[in-house]
Structure 1
Amino acid sequence: MTTMHPAAIAFRDPAALRARCDIGNVRRVHGEPDYENGAVVPAGDWAPLPEEHPERYAPGLFTKDSGLVEFFRLPGTVTDVHTVAALVGLLGDPLHVALDPAEDPPGELVTHRLPESGLCLGLHVDNHQNLPYPDRDTARRRLCVNLGPGSRHLLLADTDIKSICRTVHDRYETHCPHTDDLRMFVALRRPLKVLRVRIDPGEGWLAPTAVLPYDESTEGTEGAEGQARWSATASWLGHWGRDLFDPLI
């Protein structure tokens, strides 16, 4: 039986993680005009994270910095893409890579789209470095900040792409993991859950998005007055250590 490796999420207070995290199932998309055929998206059956679940996602003794999901709040003096970029330049990777900023309307089930077609990808892995299976754990982490004015969610699969590859490929050792592997995994009806973590304006996350399938969402982010707002993000890729920011949870 193949061992499934879950997300490794850094947190200090399990209750704080549960307060901003839901869990649900996924479905495959077929024939929907705004999506890539076969895309894997949340099924919409969100439920509170069970009380015993946070410990399942706690980092292990051998979790590398490159495999860690971290959530943080920006310093009060960092308020726009320029001041965030200056801060990122001080985090220790002189070769970090800036990604295109994004602005997403409210109500989007998933937000990441293929630039050439505009179609939604659904849950996917980043392949900027196109690393093969043996080297996948060395990929850069993605740092993303929510510049507001609206809130949004980070979506994280609970199983990493290397575990998925071991399930769907006989010769996985020479394979280059791809989003298609995730789609095949779901098509084979293998169990997969997705976590939905709320990210408010002025907050951000670091995650191994070349290893852990992910997307973002602006669905269900209405404020206390029921007002839905656009949300802007800025993102970078880099080799960063852990605990660069005060933890959010």
Structure 2
Amino acid sequence: MPLHLAFTSFDTLHERCDVTTVTVAGAEPAYEDGALIPAEPWQPLIPAAAPTLTPPTGTPASTLVEIIRPPLPTDGRLDDLALPLGGEQVQYIGQALTKPHMLTTTDNYRDGHLIGLHLDNWDKLTYKDKPPGRRRLALNLGPGTRYLILGTLGAQAVCRAVHPADYTRRYPHTDDYRAHAAAGHTIHVLRIRLAPGEGYIAPTEYLLHDGSTQDQEASAIAFWLGHWQHGKLPSLI
């Protein structure tokens, strides 16, 4: 299952979205070996891409990407912001402060090297359990604008390609995407702009992704995990 975006206006999506392919970071000292990063330059999203991004009828909410504006808490308690949207199942997983001008933002806490585009693994899901997993809700706290980068190829497709003999017994992983790219396969990624106060809901355990502050100032972002219903918050696109 590929990337599916919930949107009603291609013009609005086009205005805040670019596309490129991934490449290996190579000898860049900030990145760990084998890390995947967006290849430059970014290109405008073309109208022909709209049908491939449009969710077919019956697409489960757990695999959708939504670009939204979450409600801001009146008492400053970010850990409670998402509870009314998802009930007690919601897990607040904290904040990250990102330096300015970062092509990708996530580092390996063990050694500080950037890991590049990756899959989350909070729930350690098997091949069959990846699509119905929890999605991530994120809110850009500012002060800068930032980006969400998303791969268009789902974790199951990559896992099948890399492990054809036993993919059903696998736990799809970032390393599968790295192996897929190293074998010469093209992986496309979208970059979606998020102003302060804007956010997303996305299956980050199913799609290659990372944040970015490329050509932008520093910003902080807050995260939650939950089984969000589609359309719980109004779409910005």
Which range, TM-score by smaller chain?
A: over 0.9
Q: 1:81 to 1:158 in 2, by over 3 A?
A: farther
Residue in 2 that maps onto 1:74:
70
Residue in 1 that maps onto 2:58:
62
Rounded to whole Å, the distance in 2 between the matches of 1:216 and 1:81 is: 27
Residue in 2 that maps onto 1:6:
2
The SS at the match of 2:147 is strand
Rounded to whole Å, the distance in 2 between the matches of 1:80 and 1:108 is: 31
Report which of the two has the higher share of strand: 2
Residue in 2 that maps onto 1:148:
142
Q: 1:201 to 1:81 in 2, by over 3 A?
A: farther
Q: Which of these residues, 204, 210, 217, is aligned with residue 215 of structure 1?
A: 210
Q: Which of these residues, 85, 88, 91, is aligned with residue 85 of structure 2?
A: 91
Q: Which runs of 5+ in 2 are unaligned?
A: none
Rounded to whole Å, the distance in 1 between the matches of 2:38 and 2:75 is: 29
Rounded to whole Å, the distance in 1 between the matches of 2:189 and 2:76 is: 32
Residue in 2 that maps onto 1:224:
none
Rounded to whole Å, the distance in 1 between the matches of 2:87 and 2:131 is: 17
Matched to 1:185, the amino acid is H
* Pairs within 5 Å for 1:14-29: 14-29=10-25
Say whether residues 1:188 and 2:177 are aligned partners: no
Normalised to the residue count of structure 1, the TM-score between the two structures is 0.91
Identity %: 39
Q: 1:149 to 1:172 in 2, by over 3 A?
A: same
Q: Which of these residues, 101, 126, 129, is aligned with residue 135 of structure 1?
A: 129
Q: How far 1:31 moved relative to its partner?
A: 2.7
Native 8 Å contact 1:25 1:45 kept in 2 = no
Native 8 Å contact 1:17 1:54 kept in 2 = no
Residue in 2 that maps onto 1:239:
227
Q: 1:20 to 1:216 in 2, by over 3 A?
A: same
Q: Deviations over 1:9-46 (max 9, x none)?
A: 00010110011000011111223221110000001121
Q: How far 1:138 moved relative to its partner?
A: 2.0
Aligned residues: 236
Q: 1:80 to 1:34 in 2, by over 3 A?
A: farther
Q: How far 1:106 moved relative to its partner?
A: 1.3
Q: 1:28 to 1:204 in 2, by over 3 A?
A: same
Rounded to whole Å, the distance in 2 between the matches of 1:236 and 1:86 is: 10
Q: How far 1:6 moved relative to its partner?
A: 2.2
Q: How far 1:62 moved relative to its partner?
A: 2.7
Q: Which runs of 5+ in 1 are unaligned?
A: 222-228
Say whether residues 1:168 and 2:156 are aligned partners: no
Q: How far 1:81 moved relative to its partner?
A: 9.4
Q: 1:105 to 1:79 in 2, by over 3 A?
A: farther
Native 8 Å contact 2:63 2:203 kept in 1 = yes
Q: Deviations over 1:127-180 (max 9, x none)?
A: 111011011112110011001010000000010111101111121011110000
Rounded to whole Å, the distance in 2 between the matches of 1:232 and 1:81 is: 18
Residue in 2 that maps onto 1:111:
105
Matched to 1:219, the amino acid is Q
Normalised to the residue count of structure 2, the TM-score between the two structures is 0.95
Q: 1:80 to 1:51 in 2, by over 3 A?
A: farther
Native 8 Å contact 1:104 1:231 kept in 2 = yes
Residue in 2 that maps onto 1:225:
none
Q: How far 1:84 moved relative to its partner?
A: 4.0
